[in-house]
């Protein structure tokens, strides 16, 4: 489990764990592979998500520990709290008549099982994989060449939504590139970007910053934002902050 600093509660661990005990190495936690219901996952006799245990054990959690959904709720001042819970299923790998669950064979069910454990952490290194989060001020940049009329073909931009900035670019005789902001621009009926600028006829291309237009996903009679969207070479994920809606 990991600790949610915002709700002050422990939450189910979403990720993958492998463990080893006296040479037996196995995946012991990866519920996303079979069932999101953790109880069903633990009781599935066909998967064998266990390592054998004895009266004395030396269980090692193997590297790497894969953790999903890390955010500001699960890390505070660079510290993440994890709780490793040991569980014992008293029985063997025989199944019930439907082949769904383990059969528990205890000589005296009234005698409790006692477990004591110590966790030693020798070294910890977190390696994160991030996904871009899209906000209204997270505009996508792209460059378009100008045609003979000093206009840019906007049809070359996929998912073009709102244009937030335009800059003209030109290269001088010493191969030095310059950029100048363009404040007067509009979109023509031919879906071209036209503009006015004192330096218009020096420009060979324009750099456009835009907020992409994202298709909604229809599900169960309603439209929703997608879980992610690939735009401008980046894979963006939720949350999306909507600036405008159109039919």
Categorise residue 108: left if φ over 0, alpha if ψ from -120 to 50, beta otherwise: beta
* Mean pLDDT for all residues in the chain: 77
Structure tokens at 124: 């910890």
Indicate the pLDDT class of residue 193, thresholds 50, 70 and 90.
very high
- Among 103, 129, 155, give the residue marking a domain's end: 129
Q: Is the pLDDT of residue 144 over 90?
A: yes
Do 110 and 199 reside in the same domain of the chain? no
**pLDDT at site 229:** 76
Do 215 and 105 reside in the same domain of the chain? no
- Highest average pLDDT, of 2-11, 72-81, 127-136, comes from 2-11
Do 16 and 99 reside in the same domain of the chain? yes
Do 8 and 121 reside in the same domain of the chain? yes
Do 115 and 35 reside in the same domain of the chain? yes
Using DSSP's 3-state secondary structure scheme, residue 219 falls into: strand
Do 1 and 92 reside in the same domain of the chain? yes
Do 70 and 45 reside in the same domain of the chain? yes
Which has more pLDDT, 225 or 147?
147
User: What pTM, to 2 d.p., does this model score?
Assistant: 0.42
Q: How many CB atoms lie within 10 A of CB 29?
A: 21
- Among 95, 129, 163, give the residue marking a domain's end: 129
Do 17 and 71 reside in the same domain of the chain? yes
- Among 98, 129, 160, give the residue marking a domain's end: 129
| Cα–Cα distance, 84 to 148 (Å, whole number) | 67
Model pLDDT for residues 19-44, shown as the tens digit of each residue: 888 888 888 887 766 666 666 666 66
Do 237 and 143 reside in the same domain of the chain? yes
Query: Which residues constitute the domain of residue 84?
Result: 1-129
End-to-end CA distance of the chain: 44
Structural domains in the chain (count): 2
**pLDDT at site 6:** 87
Q: Give me the mean pLDDT over the 115-121 stretch.
A: 72
**Using alpha carbons only, how large is the chain's radius of gyration in Å?**
29
**pLDDT at site 151:** 94
Do 105 and 177 reside in the same domain of the chain? no
Buried b (16+ CB within 10 A) or exposed e, 86-120: eeeeeeeeeeeeeeeebeeeeeeeeeeeeeeeeee
- Give the per-residue SS3 of 33-55: HCCCCHHHHHHCCCCCCCCCCCC
Structure tokens at 64: 């790497």
Type and span of the H or E element at 18:
strand 15-21
């Amino acid at each position: 489990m990991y600790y949610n600093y915002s709700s002050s509660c422990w939450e189910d661990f979403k990720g993958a764990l492998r463990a080893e005990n006296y040479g037996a190495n196995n995946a012991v936690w990866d519920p996303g592979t079979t069932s999101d219901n953790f109880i069903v996952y633990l009781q599935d006799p066909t998967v064998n998500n266990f390592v054998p245990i004895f009266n004395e054990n030396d269980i090692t959690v193997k590297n790497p520990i894969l953790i999903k959904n890390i955010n500001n709720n699960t890390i505070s001042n660079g510290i993440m709290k994890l709780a490793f819970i040991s569980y014992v299923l008293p029985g063997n790998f025989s199944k019930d008549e439907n082949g769904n669950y383990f059969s528990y064979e205890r000589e005296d069910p009234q005698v409790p099982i006692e477990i004591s454990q110590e966790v030693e952490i020798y070294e910890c290194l977190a390696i994160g994989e991030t996904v871009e989060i899209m906000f209204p001020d997270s505009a996508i940049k792209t460059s378009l060449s100008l045609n003979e009329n000093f206009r840019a073909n906007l049809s070359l931009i996929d998912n073009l939504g709102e244009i937030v900035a335009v800059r003209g670019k030109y290269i001088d005789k010493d191969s030095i590139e310059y950029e100048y902001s363009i404040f007067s621009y509009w979109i023509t009926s031919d879906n071209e970007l036209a503009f006015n600028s004192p330096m218009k006829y020096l420009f060979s291309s324009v750099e456009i910053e835009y907020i992409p237009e994202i298709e909604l996903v229809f599900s169960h009679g309603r439209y929703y934002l997608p879980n992610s969207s690939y735009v401008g070479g980046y894979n963006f994920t939720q949350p999306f902050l909507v600036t405008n809606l159109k039919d």
